[in-house]
Amino acid sequence: MIQMMPFSNFSLFGYEISKETIDKLVVSTMSYLPKIVAALLILVLGLWVIKFINKVIRKFFARKDYDITLEKFIADLINWGLKVMLFIMVITQLGVQSSSLLAILGAAGLAIGLALQGSLSNFAGGVLILLFKPFKVGDFIEAQGQMGTVKSISIFTTILNTPGNQQAIIPNGKLSNDTIKNFNAEPTRRNFMTIGVSYDSDIKKAKDILLDIVTSHEFTLKEPAPEVVVANLGDSSVDLSLRFSAENTNYWKLNFYVLEEAKARLEANDISIPFPQRDIHVYNQA
- Orientation of helix 68-93 relative to helix 19-63, angle to 10°: 160
Q: Could you tell me if 43 and 91 are in contact, meaning their C-beta atoms sit under 8 angstroms apart?
A: no
Residue ranges per domain, the chain? Answer: 24-115, 125-182, 188-268
Q: Which residues of 71-95 are buried (b: 16+ CB within 10 A; e: fewer)?
A: bbbebbbebeebeeebeeebbebee
Q: What is the CATH number of domain 188-268?
A: 3.30.70.100
Gyration radius from the chain CA atoms = 35
Confidence of residue 217 (pLDDT cuts 50, 70, 90): very high
Please state the rounded mean pLDDT for residues 23-46: 76
Query: How far apart, in whole angstroms, are the C-alpha atoms of residue 218 and residue 201?
Result: 29
Which regions of the chain does DSSP assign to beta strands (E)? Answer: 10-12, 15-17, 140-143, 146-153, 157-161, 167-171, 180-182, 188-197, 227-233, 238-247
Domain 24-115 fold is: Helix Hairpins (1.10.287)
Q: Which amino acid belongs to residue 60?
A: F
Name 259's Cβ contacts closer than 8 Å, sequence gap at least 6. 193
pLDDT at residue number 213: 95
- In the chain, the largest separation of any two C-alpha atoms, in whole Å, equals 130
163 upstream amide cis, omega within 30 of 0: no
Q: Which CATH architecture has domain 125-182?
A: Roll (2.30)
Q: Is the pLDDT of residue 2 over 50?
A: no
Query: How far apart, in whole angstroms, are the C-alpha atoms of residue 109 and residue 12?
Result: 40
Which residue would you say has higher pLDDT here, 209 or 16? Answer: 209
Query: How far apart, in whole angstroms, are the C-alpha atoms of residue 213 and residue 225?
Result: 13
- pLDDT tens digit string along 51-108? 888 888 877 777 766 666 667 777 777 887 888 788 878 777 776 665 566 666 666 6
Query: How far apart, in whole angstroms, are the C-alpha atoms of residue 152 and residue 140?
Result: 12
